[in-house]
Amino acid sequence: MHLNKLPKLTFWRAVLALILAAGAYSTYARFFHGLGASTNLSDRFPWGLWIGFDVLCGVGTAAGGFTLAAIVYVFHLERFRPIIRPAILIAFLGYARVGTTMLYEVGRPIRIWYPLILWNPRSVLFEVAWCVMLYVTVAGLEFSPVILERLGWKAPLKILKAVMLPLVFFGILLSTMHQSSLGSLFLIVPTKLHPYWYSPLLPLFFIVSAVGVGLALLILASHLSARAFGACIEQSILVDLGKAMAVVMLLYATLRFQDLWERGTFAYLRQPTVETTAFLLECLLGVVLPIVLLLIRRVREDPEGLFAAAVLVITGFLLNRLNVSVTGLEGWAGGSYFPRWTEVAVSVSTVAAAVFAFGWAVRYLSVFPPARPSDGKTGEITSARAARELKPATREAELVSRA
């Protein structure tokens, strides 16, 4: 098993190196030649891939962190504890990536911190900026025990554990605020955004779909980590996550389709436009199909089937955010926007860096501990490393449940 993994790893290393090289060149282009030279943004399309993909999708896909925190710490559904760490790590890396790409996106990156001192509480973006800055800190602190354990620093670990619960609550509140607020960003363009996507309920759609995609990304990350690093996650936990994802997506579909129906939006389906194609693709491929798949028991309980459903949910989510931020606005702008390769390179290379960091953490830190041995329903331990890491996980679990 280890033998056939090695060449695969070098291939991926080569791909990673290529992507990072493209990212490095794009970084140079962005910071030494300006936004005009490094992007296809224009006065008609002031927001593009970096907002649509990096911010909207980036923050949304990291929603697994607060969702799992709520499931385990608030609802006390202990059987999901084994995946709380990967969830929080994904959240932290996701938000760190959002912060990084924002440096590329804003015209004056040196002033990125200005919302801290120059306030406009009427602005949704002001609120989002604050929440993202606070949440990346919270997610970092929530994950830091894993690193501190590894380093064996006991004093800070003690302090952290004492404040962990309030921190987790704060993180959940911050997330409900800004996940929905990303949708609120677009409430201000009722005449610009196509009726397929404009709705007064945008904030609600954004948070519900973020919870759905957060779960999907968690399933995806667990599945791939199991394949690549032999990380051990009981399949039944993932199947339950899949069920939760199905319910969330069903809720999302109900809210969304009811709203579309009430606003008479389905009339636009008769127009063979780019928007109609994008809308149908998003809804059928990214909402209806995964729900159907997840409702079929045979598909849901098959690891590959569950994985496929998760990939579809993520695809639908990405399509939705890009439709809201780009496709839905093309009609008003009277033109189309397609990102320059340097924009794509920045997005892809930061994703690659985040994936690399995640993989690194899975290998060297105890990110994927199996369920507690004391709790009769443990999954089988498939790797020796996982067995070695049982102890810290148990200790942390005990401390938190005592708090």
- CB under 8 A: which stretch of 26-34, 234-242, 243-251, 265-273 binds other proteins? 26-34
Q: How many chain residues bind other proteins (CB under 8 A)? A: 55
Q: Tell me: does residue 12 bind other proteins (CB under 8 A).
A: no
Give the CA angle between residues 216, 217, 218 to the nearest 5°.
Answer: 90
Q: Are 278 and 323 in contact (CB under 8 A)?
A: yes
Task: Name the minimum Å distance from CB 389 to other proteins.
Answer: 24
| 11, 28, 34, 364: residue in contact with other proteins (rule CB under 8 A) | 34
Q: How far apart are CA 64 and CA 93, in angstroms?
A: 12
Work out the angle between the directed axes of helices 84-105 and 124-151 (0-180°, nearest 10).
130
Q: Which of 9, 24, 28, 123 binds other proteins (CB under 8 A)?
A: 123
Binding of residue 272 to other proteins (CB under 8 A) = no
Residue type, position 5, single letter? K
Under the binding rule (CB under 8 A), the answer on residue 203 touching other proteins is: yes
H/E run at residue 168: helix 154-184
Task: For residue 118, state whether it binds other proteins (rule: CB under 8 A).
Answer: yes
Residue 346's nearest CA partner among 98, 112, 179 is 98
Work out which of 25, 153, 169, 356 binds other proteins, going by CB under 8 A.
169
Q: Which stretch binds other proteins (CB under 8 A): 109-117, 260-268, 276-284, 335-343?
A: 109-117
Contact with other proteins (CB under 8 A) among 147, 160, 173, 281: 173
Contact between 189 and other proteins per CB under 8 A: yes
Centroid of chain to Cα 17: 24
Round to whole Å and give the CA distance between 146 and 143. 6
**Judged by CB under 8 A, which stretch of 116-124, 252-260, 288-296, 384-392 contacts other proteins?**
116-124
- Window of 86-94, 124-132, 234-242, 280-288 that interacts with other proteins by CB under 8 A: 124-132
The binding track of 326-365 with respect to other proteins, each residue x by CB under 8 A or -, is ------x---------------------------------
- Considering only 5, 76, 297, 391, the residue that binds other proteins (CB under 8 A) is 76
Lookup result for tokens 């282009």: 29
Among 22, 23, 26, 41, interactor with other proteins by CB under 8 A: 41
Residue 133 in the binding site for other proteins (CB under 8 A):
no
Residue closest to 233 by CA, chosen among 83, 66, 387: 83
Residues 156-170 as b/e (b if ≥16 CB within 10 A, e otherwise) read ebeebbeebeebbeb
By the 8 A CB rule, do 393 and 374 touch?
A: no
The minimum distance between CB 216 and other proteins, in angstroms, equals: 23
Q: State in angstroms the smallest separation of the CB of 145 from other proteins.
A: 20
Q: Which of 42, 236, 258, 336 touches other proteins (CB under 8 A)?
A: 42
Give the binding range for other proteins (CB under 8 A) out of 11-19, 74-82, 289-297, 362-370: 74-82
d(CA 232, CA 225): 8
If the CB atoms of residues 298 and 402 are measured against other proteins, the closer one turns out to be: 402
Residue 332 C-alpha from the chain's centroid: 29
* Amino acid in position 223: H
- The residues near 119 (Cβ < 8 Å, ≥ 6 apart) are 126
With CB under 8 A as the contact rule, which of the stretches 188-196, 216-224, 240-248, 375-383 interacts with other proteins? Answer: 188-196
Under rule CB under 8 A, which residues in 52-71 are in contact with other proteins?
Answer: 70
- The angle subtended at Cα 320 by Cα 316 and Cα 326, nearest 5°, is 140
Tokens for 61, please give them. Answer: 């896909």
Residue 271 CA to residue 260 CA, distance in Å, equals: 16
Q: 74, 163, 269, 292: which one contacts other proteins (CB under 8 A)?
A: 74
End-to-end alpha-carbon separation of the chain, Å? 42
Q: Phi-psi category of 337—alpha, beta or left, where left has phi over 0 and alpha has psi -120 to 50?
A: beta
Which of 19, 35, 146, 354 contacts other proteins by CB under 8 A?
35
Shortest approach of other proteins to residue 287 CB, angstroms?
23
* Least CB distance to other proteins at residue 152 (A): 30
Q: What are 389's two structure tokens?
A: 């890491």
Site residues, other proteins (CB under 8 A): 31-37, 41-44, 46-47, 70, 73-76, 105-108, 111-112, 114-115, 118-120, 122-129, 169, 172-173, 176-177, 181, 184-185, 187-192, 200, 203, 332, 401
